Amino acid sequence: MAEPADRQEYRSGHDPRTLRDALGCFATGVTVVTCLGAEGEPAGLTVNSFTSVSLDPPLLLVCLAKRAASAAALTEASHFAVNVLQTGQQPASIRFSTRDEDRFGATPWSCGEGGAPILKDSLGVFECERHAVHDGGDHHILIGQVVKASFDAGLDPLLYFRGRYRRLHFD
């Protein structure tokens, strides 16, 4: 049976490009992880490697590129927040994924209970105490113990799939 002409090429291998493209086939939510740095300045970056680890105790993890400008602040902070973005926050996702020096200037935020910046109008927020930091190759694996979780069930998530932002489509 012949394959349809419009079908994308099937690839396999372990080279970085194939691995990155294959991982991009897993749709993810988009988060901005935030904290206050040693001098009290807000720090944060866009992260899509985020997952629950345990419900008892309540643990989650995020993976942070070691070369990211905010990586040191986030791995050293006693508290951090994972802001789960909704569809209207795509500009914030882009801003926090670049080396923009004033990421917080154009993004409304306030301090959470542990001091970490909470982005206004996020779909969900997990305020965490740092539980552990592990080596993960070119990333840090930051594990947090959730001290407060909040969400707005009326908002839709911002998604990322195959290198592009996406939205849920309901029938």
CB 43 within 8 A of CB 63: no
Torsional class of 40: left (φ above 0), alpha (ψ -120 to 50), beta (otherwise): left
pLDDT tens digits for range 60-90: 999 999 999 999 999 999 999 999 999 999 9
For the chain, give the percent of residues with pLDDT over 70. 94
What residue spans define the domains of the chain? Answer: 29-164
Distance CA 65, CA 146 (A): 22
- CATH fold of 29-164: Pnp Oxidase; Chain A (2.30.110)
pLDDT tens digits for range 116-145: 999 999 999 999 999 999 999 999 999 999
Whether the pTM exceeds 0.85: the reply is: yes
Residue with tokens 């990322």: 160
Is the predicted pLDDT of residue 4 greater than 60, yes or no? Answer: no
Q: Residue 161, SS3?
A: strand
* pLDDT given for residue 2 in this prediction: 53
* pLDDT given for residue 132 in this prediction: 98
Is the predicted pLDDT of residue 3 greater than 70, yes or no? Answer: no
CB 84 within 8 A of CB 157: yes
Q: Are strands 139-151 and 28-29 parallel, antiparallel or unpaired?
A: unpaired
pLDDT tens digits for range 109-123: 999 999 999 999 999
